[in-house]
Amino acid sequence: MKVLCILYDDPKGGMPSEYPLNSIPKLEKYPDGMTLPNPESIDFTPGELLGCVSGELGLRKFLEDNGHTLVVTSDKDGDNCTADKELLDADIVISQPFWPYYLTRERIEKAKNLKMAITAGIGSDHVDLQAAMDNNVDVVEVTYCNSISVSEHQVMMILALVRDYHNQYAIVRSGGWNIADAVSRSYDVEGMHIGTVAAGRIGLSVLRKMKPFDVNLHYFDRHRLPKSVESELNLTFHESVESMVAVCDVVTVNCPLHPETEDLFNENLISKMKKGAYLVNTARGKICNRDAVAQALESGQLSGYAGDVWFPQPAPNDHVWRNMPNHGMTPHTSGTSLSAQARYAAGTREILECFFDNRPIRTPYLIVQNGQLAGMGAHSYSEGSATEGSEEAAEYKK
pLDDT one-digit tens code per residue, 184-238: 999 999 999 999 999 999 999 999 999 999 999 999 999 999 999 999 999 999 9
Which entry of 130, 281, 289, 313 is annotated as an active-site residue? 313
Q: What is the mean pLDDT of residues 367-385?
A: 94
Query: Alpha-carbon Rg of the chain, whole angstroms?
Result: 21
Q: At 396, is the secondary structure helix, strand, or coil?
A: coil
* 284 in active site: yes
Question: Domain 147-322, what fold?
Answer: Rossmann fold (3.40.50)
| CATH number, domain 2-145+336-395 | 3.40.50.720
Which entry of 130, 146, 289, 301 is annotated as an active-site residue? 146
Tell whether the model's pLDDT for residue 353 goes beyond 90. Answer: yes
Exposure string (b/e) for 336-361, b if CB count within 10 Å is 16 or more? bbbbbbbbbbbbbbbbbbbbeeeeeb
Q: Which residues belong to CATH 3.40.50.720 in the chain?
A: 2-145+336-395, 147-322
* 313 in active site: yes
What confidence tens digit (pLDDT) does each residue in 286-333 have? 999 999 999 999 999 999 999 999 999 999 999 999 999 999 999 999
What confidence tens digit (pLDDT) does each residue in 240-286 have? 999 999 999 999 999 999 999 999 999 999 999 999 999 999 999 99
Which entry of 284, 327, 343, 362 is annotated as an active-site residue? 284
Q: What is the mean pLDDT of residues 57-69?
A: 98
What confidence tens digit (pLDDT) does each residue in 383-393 have? 999 999 999 99
Share of the chain above pLDDT 70, in %: 100
Q: At 140, is the secondary structure helix, strand, or coil?
A: strand
Give the mean pLDDT of the chain.
Answer: 97
Q: What is the mean pLDDT of residues 161-174?
A: 97
CB 202 within 8 A of CB 282: yes
Q: Model confidence at 397, in pLDDT bands (50, 70, 90)?
A: confident
Q: What is the mean pLDDT of residues 28-55?
A: 96
pLDDT at 243: 98
Measure Cα distances from 43 to 14, 36, 61, 270, 317 in Å.
Answer: 20, 17, 7, 47, 37
How far apart are the C-alpha atoms of 199 and 312, rounded to whole Å?
Answer: 25
* 332 in active site: yes
Classify residue 137 by its DSSP letter.
-
* 222 in active site: no
Tell whether the model's pLDDT for residue 398 goes beyond 90. Answer: no
Tell whether the model's pLDDT for residue 347 goes beyond 90. Answer: yes
From the centroid of its chain, how far is CA 79? 26
Which entry of 332, 343, 349, 362 is annotated as an active-site residue? 332
This prediction has a pTM of: 0.96
